[in-house]
Each structure stands twice: as structure tokens, then as C-alpha cells.
Amino acid sequence: MATVYLALDIRLDRTVALKVMHRSLAEDPAFVRRFIGEAKSVASLSHPNVVHVFDQGTDNDVVYLSMEYVPGRTLRDILRERGRLPAREALEIMIPVLAALGAAHQAGMVHRDVKPENVLMTDDGRVKVVDFGLAKAIEATNQTRTGVMIGTIGYMAPEQVITGAADVRSDVYAAGIMLFELVTGQQPYDGETPMSVAYRHVHDTVPAPSSLVPEVPPLIDTLVAGATAREPQHRPADATAMLVAAVDAHRMLPRTTTPPGTGPVMPPSRPQTFGMPSGAQSVPQAAAPAHTMVAPSHTLIQPRAEAPEPRRGFRPNWFLVTLAAVLAVAVGLTGWYFAQPEYVKVPDLVGKNLVVAEKNLAGAGLLMRKAEGQYDEKVAEGLILSTDPVADSELEKGSTVTLVPSLGPERIVVPDVSGLTGNSARAEIAKAGLTVGNVKRLPSQEIERDKVIRTSPMVGEKVKKGATVHIFVSAGLVMPDVAGMPKDQAADFLSKQGFQVQVTEVDDDAEPCTVIAQSPKAKSEVDRGAPVMVTVARCQADIWEWFRGDDDDEDREDQPFGMVPGVIGKNVNDAKAELEALGFKVRVQRLGNGGVVQYQRPVPNSRRPVGSTVFLWQ
């Protein structure tokens, strides 16, 4: 269904597994909708034995998942290498698998494709289950047809084969097949075609693992038989129920699997020999008891040494000898005492200036070595951050103390990414050790569309490492809203903005000669020089006929009229106050960032009923 790449998330600086769906699936809208929904469900499933889903998205026709990268091997790789596993070890793998499936079942999810290929074994011994929900997502595609089964045939429950339906007990069945394979090294059924294997899942009873491998304990046979019952109602209710049974089985299995009588055998003791004194008789070996150590049969004879006669005539003066010895020891101790090195304590230098620290060390009879500086948010630049050895350590006088100066708080200069595309700017900001924040699009007549206008904080500012930098990208020209403007004013304004204006008049109930529609629509992103179609209500000769209308409202005939003054070029607030003082209502619409009236409707010096609305564009 997908190709998996090892990728680097440059925003969070972490290695991820990027799963890119095959193009045939990505082109199917039903699959994309179901896939996104399943990805959200899996992302909400936080469990240590489930491979986490970090993100999901589409890029044109590419549909992808960003997932936790798990270094290690699949359970299938381990089975290929070892053939089969001891019962306890098999359960120690199945227990975390069942815990992951149980958490999914509690959340209303079904895996639908439990198999060794979807179980990852990390280098540090952790077990992770992957690919939740993908089988369900592919069921919604145009790839599937009536009679097509989704899953892996060797692990399919009978109900999946017959009806295509799967629930939590289907996952339990697949887990039972996987346990069978772990302890026997093979699947229970094989056949020349997938359909022949599927037929046996439906009509046969899974054999006991011990029928293939006699060493398999009966507890495993019972666990496999319950999980692989042909009728779903005869299996454990879900993976959590099977987990409880697996934990009980693991607890009751012996911790060692060495058969009785096959333990280590101690080598026989070597016979000891005993020397016998001269003149002793040897003991015949035949007369010795079987369990005693027998002395050698020969006698060892050692020649006797003659003692020399002592000399006569010289007797030492023991007093002088003793005195000389005492003097020798005293001289030796005195020399040893004065030869001992002098020890001093390392002064407390943290927070001191480097020059002051060096003087303090010299005063204590110690030497200084300056190490490479380190950044620190609390200790100012140039002050001592740490020493090696630490303060109050005793050193031999003349020893060297290493000082680590502080470089002060680490600050990173915001890089200049103006003019780059949004993705290139993200990469540059992440490369600088900063975090990309919001990306906002702003209208701009000067900067090409999709190119960066500026950042916040601004280029060149120094910020903390990892600080958030927001990017503002040009949206190019944004189509202004000219609805309701007089025809000539709208055409004049759009022409000044660089558009090619075409005006069409149509019959309409709106005020004559005013814009009733425009294409492209207001606020859409457009290129400079793009053609713009403006539709206006047909310009009638008598505006009063339009205002009076076709009704018989006699009150309007008696309504007083006033002259609408020209306020173009005036401050918006001043113009509004002036018009309201004359009894008109005022509505202000924005074309740009200025505070001056650029256009108005009705046009200056027009007569309008008092209380009618005057539109101003700033």
C-alpha cells in the first residue's frame, strides 16, 4: 500500500518514518477521506506498544503519514533467523502485542492485519505494533470489489474470509495464529493457492502447537485453541481478555526449560597425594576403602642437614646497635616529613571575572588553564561558569585548575529569508537553530507571490536558541472589493491597481451605474495586469425614477431631499461627521490602509432624501 522513507522533520529536528501511499490509492478520494480519518484515530491512541502517528497530510497528489521511527527488526526477521521461540519468550512478545491491540479495541479500533511483519522489535527490546487502520482505509477505495478480501490470508479469521467483516475478535484470531507460528516456526495451514489456505481457515480447526513441536506446554495449546475458535463468540471477547489469559499462562510456565537430568555435571576430582615421614610403612592400595584418598606407596626420604658450630670471641654492643638504629629511623622520618608535598584548597571562583580568578589562583599557588567557553542563560559573559576541580578541593601546590568561562546567553541572529519561498525559508530558519511559527499571507504589490516579505522577529535580531520565528509570505495582489461603487470610480480605481478593466451593464434593480458583481471575486489572489470583469446596473437617465420605484408609497413623495456634498480627499472621520450633520447615514468601506476618502456614492452634489445612506471608500 505504501513506500516508507527514513526522513528528517526539520521543524522539530527528529528522525521519522515517512509512509507515502501508492499513487493508485492516493488518486481515490474515498481512500483519502477514510485514510485521514483512520490516521486521526491512531494519532489519538497513545500507548507505549503502538507506533505513534505524528502527522498526516497531502502534497498535491501525494498522501503521507509521518510516524515514529523504530530502529530494529520486524518479528518476521526474528522468525527467519531463529525458526521458532521457546514458550516463555513467545508469550513475552505476545503480551505487549495484545496490550497494544487491547488499547485499540477499547478505543473502538480494529487492526485487521495482525501479523509478524506489523510487529517491530526495537534494539533495546521494546515491542511496537504498526499499521493500525490501514486495512480499514483501503476497504473504502475503488480498488476493492465484491468478493475481494483485505488482509493477509495466513492470519484471516473465518468471518473475514466468508463475509469480509472484521471486529475485535478477528484480531484475536490473528493473534492466536501468530502465537502458533512463534512456538512452532510455521503457520498452521499451507496450500498451493491463497484460496486453499482460506478454505482451511473456514472449515478446519487449528491444530495444537504441541502436535508439531512436542515441547510446547499445554498452556500454550489452550491459549491458541481459545483464540482461534472458528466461531467468534467462542473466542476471548477482545485482545484485553486474551492478554489476561496470556499473562496467567506466562506466570504458570516454569522459568527454566532444562529437562531433569540434563543439568551441568561436575568433573571428577583428581586424587590427592600425601607425603609420609621417613621410616613409615606404606599402606597397600587394595586394603584401602573405596571412598578414601590413598597415600602413595613409596616413602619420601629427606637428608638431614648438619648444624654449623657458632663462632666464638666476638660479642656485639647491643646498646650502640640500638642507638644507631634509632638515629637512622629519626633521620629518615625527618627527611620524609620535609619531602611531603604541600596541599592547598581550590578557591571559589564561580561568578568571578577571569582576571580576578587568575590572581586568586596565583595567590593560592595554583596554575590556571582556560577551557573553551560555554553558553549560559544566568552567568554573564566573561565570568567563570565552573572550575575543575570544584571549589574546596585539595590539590598539591603548583597543580593546574581548569576554568570554564561563560559566553553569556546564547543568541542566534534571525537569518535573512526575504525573497525565498515559504519552504526554503522554513529550512533556513530550522538550520539556524530556530523554530518556524505561523506562516501568514499578506497582500503585496511589490513582492512576488509566494515569496517571503519579512519575518517576526525581524532579520538580524538576536533571539534565544529555539525561539519561534513567524514568516509573512506575499499573496501578491488581492482583488479589492468594489461592490456598490459607481461605475466610473470603480473602473478608475482598478485601472490604477494595474488591472485590465472591462465593464458590462445589465438590467438590475440596484442603483443605476453601480457595481453589482465582479470577477475575480473580492479578496482572491490575482496577478498584476490580470483582466477584471465588472458588472454594473444599467445607467438610467433619471435617477429619481429609480429612487421612487414602482410602488405607491406616498410618504416617500413628501420626504425632504438634501444635497450630498463632495468629501473625496477629506479625512474619513471628518467626512462622516459632516454627512451625518446633514441627516445622512454613512457607511465606510476599506480599499487600502489610508484614512482619506478616495471615492463616494452618491457622487458629489447629488440630491438624495435625508436619512438615505452615503457610501465612502477609504
What CATH number should be reported for the domain holding residue 427?
3.30.10.20
Q: Domain check: are 382 and 463 in the same one?
A: no
pLDDT at residue 160 is higher than 60: yes
Pairing relationship of beta strands 119-122 and 367-370 according to DSSP bridges: unpaired
Peptide bond into 520 cis (omega under 30): yes
- Which of the following is catalytic: 113, 171, 238, 376? 113
Compute the half-sphere exposure of residue 353: CA atoms within 13 Å on the CB side of its CA.
3
Whole-number pLDDT of residue 499: 85
Displacement of CA 477 from its chain's centroid (Å): 37
In DSSP notation, 541-569 reads S-HHHHHH-SS--HHHHT--EEEE---TT
All cell numbers assigned to 466:
529555539
- Does residue 518 sit within a domain? yes
Contact (Cβ atoms closer than 8 angstroms) between residue 63 and residue 19: no
Q: Domain check: are 548 and 578 in the same one?
A: yes
pLDDT at residue 1 is higher than 90: no
Q: Domain check: are 123 and 148 in the same one?
A: yes
Residue at 454: amino acid letter: R
Whole-number pLDDT of residue 31: 77
List the one residue out of 443, 353, 365, 355 whose CA is nearest residue 406.
Answer: 353
Convert the pLDDT of each residue in 195-209 to its tens digit: 889 889 999 999 999
Residue at 312: amino acid letter: R
Q: Domain check: are 501 and 610 in the same one?
A: yes
- Does residue 96 sit within a domain? yes
3-state secondary structure of 407: coil
- CA pseudo-torsion sign 590, 592, 596, 602: negative
DSSP state of 142: T
Convert the pLDDT of each residue in 533-579 to its tens digit: 999 998 864 555 555 544 444 445 566 888 999 999 999 999 999 99
List the one residue out of 298, 134, 158, 309 whose CA is nearest residue 234.
Answer: 158
Whole-number pLDDT of residue 404: 93
Q: Domain check: are 361 and 490 in the same one?
A: no
List the one residue out of 36, 7, 21, 59 whose CA is nearest residue 423.
Answer: 59
Phi, psi of 537 (to 5 degrees): -70, 140
Q: What angle do CA 302, 304, 309 make, to 5 degrees?
A: 160
The better pLDDT of the pair 269, 213 is held by 213
**Which range of residues forms the domain containing residue 91?**
72-252
Only one residue has cell 629518615, namely: 332
Convert the pLDDT of each residue in 413-470 to its tens digit: 999 998 898 889 999 999 998 999 988 888 777 788 889 999 999 998 988 888 999 9
Number of compact structural domains in the chain: 4
Q: Domain check: are 374 and 514 in the same one?
A: no
Domain's final residue, options 430, 445, 475: 475
Q: Which of 37-51, 209-223, 368-382 has the lowest mean pLDDT?
A: 37-51
Domain's final residue, options 183, 217, 252: 252
Residue at 356: amino acid letter: V
Distance CA 574, CA 118 (A): 72
pLDDT band for 303, please (50, 70, 90 cuts).
very low
Convert the pLDDT of each residue in 377-425 to its tens digit: 888 888 999 998 888 888 888 889 999 999 988 889 999 998 898 889 9
Convert the pLDDT of each residue in 107-140 to its tens digit: 888 988 999 999 999 888 899 999 876 655 555 4
Q: Domain check: are 490 and 585 in the same one?
A: yes
Q: Domain check: are 466 and 589 in the same one?
A: no
pLDDT band for 100, please (50, 70, 90 cuts).
very high
Please indicate whether residue 481 is annotated as part of the active site: no
Q: Domain check: are 380 and 467 in the same one?
A: no
CB atoms within 10 A of CB 259: 8
What CATH number should be reported for the domain holding residue 237?
1.10.510.10
List the one residue out of 105, 119, 136 whose CA is nearest residue 49.
Answer: 119
Whole-number pLDDT of residue 17: 93
Contact (Cβ atoms closer than 8 angstroms) between residue 166 and residue 154: no
Whole-number pLDDT of residue 315: 55
Domain's final residue, options 189, 223, 252: 252
- Does residue 469 sit within a domain? yes
- Does residue 290 sit within a domain? no
Mean pLDDT, the chain, as a whole number?
A: 81
- Does residue 244 sit within a domain? yes
- Does residue 142 sit within a domain? yes
Q: Which of 53-57, 338-342, 610-614 has the lowest mean pLDDT?
A: 338-342
pLDDT band for 269, please (50, 70, 90 cuts).
very low
Distance CA 83, CA 439 (A): 53
The residues near 177 (Cβ < 8 Å, ≥ 6 apart) are 154, 155, 187, 188, 206, 228
Residue at 294: amino acid letter: V
pLDDT at residue 227 is higher than 90: yes
pLDDT band for 586, please (50, 70, 90 cuts).
very high
List the one residue out of 235, 259, 126 whose CA is nearest residue 176.
Answer: 235
- Does residue 81 sit within a domain? yes
Q: Domain check: are 458 and 509 in the same one?
A: no
Q: Domain check: are 184 and 122 in the same one?
A: yes
- Does residue 55 sit within a domain? no
Only one residue has cell 533571539, namely: 463
In DSSP notation, 196-258 reads HHHHHHHHSPPPPGGGT-TTS-HHHHHHHHHHT-SSGGGS-SSHHHHHHHHHHHHHHS-S--P
Q: Domain check: are 492 and 528 in the same one?
A: yes
